[in-house]
Homo-oligomer: A and B are copies of this chain.
Amino acid sequence: MSYPSSLALPLVRFDRGFLAGRARLVRETVIPYQWEALNDRLPGAERSGCVHNLQVAAGEKAGQFHGLFWQDSDLAKWIEAASYRLATHPDPALEATLDRLIVTIAKAQVADGYLNTYFQLVEPQNRWANLRDCHELYVAGHLIEAGVAHFGATGKRTLLDVVCRLADLIARTFGPGPDQLPGYCGHEEIELALVRLARATGVERYRDLALYFIEQRGRSPNYFEAEAARRAGDDGKLPWHMHHDGLATLQAARPVRELTEPVGHAVRMMYLLAAMIDLAGDRHDAPLAAQCRALWQAIVTRHLYLTGGVGTEPYGEKFCEPFDLPPDRAYAETCAAIGVMMCARRLLELELHGGYADVMERALYNNVLSGLALDGRTFFYVNPLEVVPAVAKRRYECHLVKTQRVPWFGCACCPPNVARLFASLGDYAYSQMPDGLAVHLYAEGEAGFQSGTGAVRLLVRTDYPWQGRVEFRIEPEWAAAEFTLHLRIPGWCRQPGLVLNGVAREPGAVDGYARISRIWRSGDRVVLDLPMPVERVRANTRVFAAAGQVALQRGPVVYCVEEADNGPQLSALGLPRDSQLTARPELDLLGGCVVLEGPAVRAATGGALYSTEPVPETPVQLRAVPYALWANRGEGEMRVWLRET
């Protein structure tokens, strides 16, 4: 749905195992729970107001608007998630709920196509008057994505028609014409949404508009400056979150084509890059594709947390200096890591290269999954790599860090973003290639794809990411099918093994994918063996915050130590260079996972604040758990980077 080469969502199934469990949790718990949140029926949670606002705008009830400018986008992302769920797991009750909601949405839409409950109910006179700050086109973008998803899942045009009318209004309003606004949104999203709408409807002008927004962004004279000058009461000061970076916070200080390093608000930067990759691919724009690759390389070689997160500056949720990756002040917003996945997945459309999938997998198993509690009812927005609760609660620069997941947020972008990500996980796992199938993510289940000689089912058995063995069985629609199976060999794997019908062969990965081209027959079996020793990861020495420290990783899973296992004062733990760590399945811990254990040391000085005495260290047994599962056992310290002794 999302990507040209994705398999249709119903053709991908996750049956069993870790990802399947999370996807089921999202399907069965998170989506219904979030519907309650959006209807303000969660006791103790911050009020959403989303459905309420819509009903008021539709004239179905009286009341005041509640929330932020972009409140509608939470609901739009939920509709998108719910639609994906309908695609994979039909559910008449959910479908009816969506149908009723879409009737309300259509009633709320203004005759000219406008739809944004904040501006309709609070500032009708200020439509399109503050594109810099008010996220109007961002909200429209999420509605468009919802419309495309709903259409894809149900075949119904009800919401698609609504969002096409909205997109048509936007296309009439924005552009180079004398009666048009030469503007663009302070928060990118509309661009990638318009590309999706163009792909879904075949209407080229939506893609043209996306291109216009990107080409216009940051051009001189700057639209946001002109807009601010026009606004009555604007004192010329920039909002606080634009501290230091000014319009670069919004990727609008210079033309987009001149960007070489990620700048500004991390989610916006990733959403912008996603749209740029889409356009580079759809329009065969080689310079743009090269720029996208360069920006990606800048991100993953200078700005990426080990957990796959981006954004290190809480003030404005922004990219910061290269290699400035502090673990305690990591912003690493869940949405931004989802943006990393979105870009990686899109880059796999430009070229099948395992490096993209490696980062996508890193973000998924660590930063993104961290956003969701084991029970599916609480969420992280910010995902630090080190937390000392008393300090995180105390320091102003950590005031957005939560030490425990929370039921909802006043600005609740992340929870429904996690929901739509997991509800459409199939989009990320496979690519239909011209010559067969590429497998990017390994999870037990099934995928249906097309070969040149008919449909094929790929059956997968694995306990990934806890075990590295993945078995595939090929079931062609007909007796045989000729195609290439592109199996990703993860970058973290040093000695992959490949067995085809019982015969070992060299994986011979090119660009990170082992390729098996042959005529396949029913029952053909491939076994991929991806040994997962416990790895010690060290950061580039330019990452000053991780100097002398080591992180533990096994397969794609980054580990952390928690107070629950290791006691408080985790900074006092040291991991000797020669300590042998072992991986052990713990079926009853944190929903079932693999823990890492081994000998370590704990430093413990006397009472003096400073001393010239050597620091005595005593041997202790260290236990590390998957980072994504932290903070599921009450409040306590956590850290990813451990001092290496």
Q: Residue A304 at the B interface, CB < 8 A?
A: yes
Q: Which of A113-121, A314-322, A374-382, A459-467 contacts B (4 or more CB under 8 A)?
A: A314-322
Q: Which parts of A538-561 form the interface with B (CB within 8 Å)?
A: 538-545, 547-548, 551, 553
Q: Residue A645 at the B interface, CB < 8 A?
A: yes
Q: Which residues of B contact A545 (CB under 8 A)?
A: 571
The docked-state distance in angstroms from the alpha carbon of A608 to that of B302 is: 9
Contact assessment for B391 and A320 in the assembled complex, using a CB-CB cutoff below 8 Å:
yes
Q: Which residues of B contact A243 (CB under 8 A)?
A: 396, 399
Q: Which residues of B contact A608 (CB under 8 A)?
A: 301, 540
Q: Which parts of A390-439 form the interface with B (CB within 8 Å)?
A: 390-391, 394-397, 399
15 A-B pairs with C-beta separation under 8 A: A243-B396, A244-B396, A301-B609, A302-B609, A313-B394, A320-B395, A537-B612, A538-B610, A538-B614, A538-B615, A539-B605, A541-B572, A541-B605, A548-B643, A551-B610
B-binding residues in A (CB < 8 A): 243-244, 300-302, 304, 306, 313-315, 320-321, 324, 329, 388, 390-391, 394-397, 399, 492, 535-545, 547-548, 551, 553, 569-572, 574, 603-615, 643, 645
The docked-state distance in angstroms from the alpha carbon of A574 to that of B544 is: 12
Select from chain B the residue with minimum beta-carbon distance to A389.
B321
Select from chain B the residue with minimum beta-carbon distance to A542.
B569
The docked-state distance in angstroms from the alpha carbon of A243 to that of B396 is: 8
The docked-state distance in angstroms from the alpha carbon of A551 to that of B569 is: 21
> Known contacts A547-B572, A548-B643: does B391 contact A609 (CB below 8 Å)?
no
Q: Which residues of B contact A390 (CB under 8 A)?
A: 321, 324
Select from chain B the residue with minimum beta-carbon distance to A537.
B610
Nearest CB on B from A294, distance (A): 15
The docked-state distance in angstroms from the alpha carbon of A614 to that of B391 is: 32
Known: A397-B397, A539-B609, A551-B610. 7 other contacts (CB 8 A): A324-B388, A324-B394, A538-B613, A541-B572, A541-B605, A548-B548, A548-B574
The docked-state distance in angstroms from the alpha carbon of A395 to that of B614 is: 34
Contact assessment for A610 and B571 in the assembled complex, using a CB-CB cutoff below 8 Å:
no
Q: Which residues of B contact A604 (CB under 8 A)?
A: 541
The docked-state distance in angstroms from the alpha carbon of A603 to that of B644 is: 13
The docked-state distance in angstroms from the alpha carbon of A609 to that of B296 is: 13
Q: Tell which of B302, B544, B609, B610 touches A388, judged by Cβ atoms closer than 8 Å.
A: B544
Select from chain B the residue with minimum beta-carbon distance to A322.
B390
> Known contacts A541-B572, A544-B388, A548-B643: does B609 contact A300 (CB below 8 Å)?
yes
Nearest CB on B from A615, distance (A): 5
The docked-state distance in angstroms from the alpha carbon of A321 to that of B328 is: 15
Q: Which residues of B contact A610 (CB under 8 A)?
A: 306, 537-540, 551
The docked-state distance in angstroms from the alpha carbon of A571 to that of B323 is: 12
Contact assessment for B535 and A612 in the assembled complex, using a CB-CB cutoff below 8 Å:
yes
Closest 3 pairs between A and B when the two form their complex, measured CB to CB: A544-B571, A397-B397, A315-B396
Nearest CB on B from A334, distance (A): 21
Most B C-beta atoms less than 10 A away, residue of A314, A551, A615, A643 = A615
Q: Which residues of B contact A611 (CB under 8 A)?
A: 537-538, 540
Select from chain B the residue with minimum beta-carbon distance to A300.
B609
Nearest CB on B from A500, distance (A): 29
Q: Which residues of B contact A391 (CB under 8 A)?
A: 320-321, 324
The docked-state distance in angstroms from the alpha carbon of A607 to that of B323 is: 12
> Known contacts A394-B244, A397-B396, A643-B547: does B571 contact A540 (CB below 8 Å)?
no
Q: Tell which of B320, B397, B613 touches A329, judged by Cβ atoms closer than 8 Å.
A: B397
Contact assessment for A321 and B571 in the assembled complex, using a CB-CB cutoff below 8 Å:
no
The docked-state distance in angstroms from the alpha carbon of A244 to that of B391 is: 12
Contact assessment for B571 and A313 in the assembled complex, using a CB-CB cutoff below 8 Å:
no
Contact assessment for B540 and A321 in the assembled complex, using a CB-CB cutoff below 8 Å:
no
The docked-state distance in angstroms from the alpha carbon of A571 to that of B397 is: 22
Select from chain B the residue with minimum beta-carbon distance to A547.
B571
Contact assessment for A321 and B612 in the assembled complex, using a CB-CB cutoff below 8 Å:
no
Contact assessment for A396 and B313 in the assembled complex, using a CB-CB cutoff below 8 Å:
yes
Nearest CB on B from A636, distance (A): 14
Nearest CB on B from A359, distance (A): 10
Most B C-beta atoms less than 10 A away, residue of A395, A545, A614 = A395
Contact assessment for B324 and A536 in the assembled complex, using a CB-CB cutoff below 8 Å:
no
The docked-state distance in angstroms from the alpha carbon of A606 to that of B541 is: 9
Nearest CB on B from A436, distance (A): 31
Nearest CB on B from A253, distance (A): 15
Nearest CB on B from A358, distance (A): 11
Q: Which residues of B contact A539 (CB under 8 A)?
A: 605, 609-610
Select from chain B the residue with minimum beta-carbon distance to A328.
B326
Q: Which residues of B contact A315 (CB under 8 A)?
A: 396-397
The docked-state distance in angstroms from the alpha carbon of A395 to that of B313 is: 7
Nearest CB on B from A19, distance (A): 23
Select from chain B the residue with minimum beta-carbon distance to A572.
B541
Select from chain B the residue with minimum beta-carbon distance to A243.
B396
Q: Which residues of B contact A569 (CB under 8 A)?
A: 541-542, 544
The docked-state distance in angstroms from the alpha carbon of A391 to that of B320 is: 8
The docked-state distance in angstroms from the alpha carbon of A442 to that of B536 is: 51
The docked-state distance in angstroms from the alpha carbon of A228 to that of B351 is: 64
Contact assessment for A538 and B301 in the assembled complex, using a CB-CB cutoff below 8 Å:
no
The docked-state distance in angstroms from the alpha carbon of A570 to that of B334 is: 32
Q: Which residues of B contact A542 (CB under 8 A)?
A: 569, 572
The docked-state distance in angstroms from the alpha carbon of A397 to that of B548 is: 24
Contact assessment for B396 and A609 in the assembled complex, using a CB-CB cutoff below 8 Å:
no
Most B C-beta atoms less than 10 A away, residue of A394, A396, A537, A613 = A396
Q: Which residues of B contact A603 (CB under 8 A)?
A: 541, 547-548
Nearest CB on B from A323, distance (A): 8
Nearest CB on B from A120, distance (A): 29
Contact assessment for A605 and B301 in the assembled complex, using a CB-CB cutoff below 8 Å:
no
Q: Which residues of B contact A306 (CB under 8 A)?
A: 610
Select from chain B the residue with minimum beta-carbon distance to A396.
B315
Nearest CB on B from A314, distance (A): 7
Select from chain B the residue with minimum beta-carbon distance to A245.
B394
